[in-house]
């Protein structure tokens, strides 16, 4: 069951929703972004980065070919894109667990490549409704911060 669901009416609103979430994050968190190509995962990630305090002039792009980008902020952001991941051992070589369960926010596009749909964290599903609108649904799986859950419901209800 989702914590909340909202329909974004365009890229600017998707960015704003991500930014609100980024401002709420006060401790290390694993954020997993699901959605088809073009659903708005990278736009949402850019919003989270801005909410965490990544400078507005810092480009936030999907690390499709490098697997991870690191951005310094009030909580460091480790932005993963697993779309082109061909072998899960690549994550071990990258030190994925150190980032995903470390001292910052690990944001993962294409988490289904982790091959564990029950990975604990804050799951965000973006569904393309048409050229502009996206349904954004948020779930918490596993042991997560009760404070984050309450804050999310308060801000997004």
- Residues 92-149: pLDDT tens digits? 888 888 998 889 999 999 999 888 888 889 999 999 999 999 999 998 887 766 677 7
Biggest CA-to-CA distance, the chain: 40
Residue 78 has pLDDT above 90, yes or no: yes
Average pLDDT score over residue span 29-52: 95
Is the pLDDT higher at 101 or at 18? 18
Q: Which ranges in the chain belong to alpha helices (H)?
A: 11-24, 41-52, 89-94, 96-100, 146-156
Residues pairing with 122 in the sheet: 31, 140
pLDDT band at 16, cuts 50/70/90? very high
d(CA 149, CA 70): 25
The mean pLDDT value of the chain amounts to 89
- Per cent of the chain over pLDDT 90 is 58
Quick one: pLDDT at residue 149? 74
Query: What domain count does the chain have?
Result: 1
Retrieve residue 88's tokens.
């899960």
Identify the CATH number of the domain in which residue 79 sits: 3.40.50.300
- Considering only residues 110 and 151, tell me which one the structure prediction assigns the higher pLDDT: 110
Please say if the pLDDT value at position 1 is more than 60.
no
Q: What range does the domain containing 120 cover?
A: 4-156
């Amino acid at each position: 069951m989702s914590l909340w669901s909202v329909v974004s009416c365009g890229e600017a609103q998707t960015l704003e929703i991500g930014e609100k979430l980024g401002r709420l994050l006060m401790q290390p968190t694993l954020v997993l972004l699901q959605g088809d190509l073009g659903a708005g995962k990278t736009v949402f990630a850019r919003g989270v980065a801005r909410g965490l305090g990544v400078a507005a002039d810092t480009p936030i792009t999907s690390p499709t070919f490098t697997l991870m980008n690191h951005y310094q902020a009030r909580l460091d952001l480790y932005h993963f894109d697993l779309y082109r991941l061909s072998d899960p051992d690549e994550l071990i070589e990258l030190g994925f667990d150190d980032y995903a369960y470390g001292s910052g926010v690990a944001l993962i596009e294409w988490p289904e490549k982790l091959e564990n749909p029950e990975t604990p964290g804050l799951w965000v599903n973006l569904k393309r409704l048409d050229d502009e609108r996206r349904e954004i649904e948020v779930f918490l799986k596993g042991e997560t911060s009760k404070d984050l859950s309450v804050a999310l419901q308060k801000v997004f209800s």
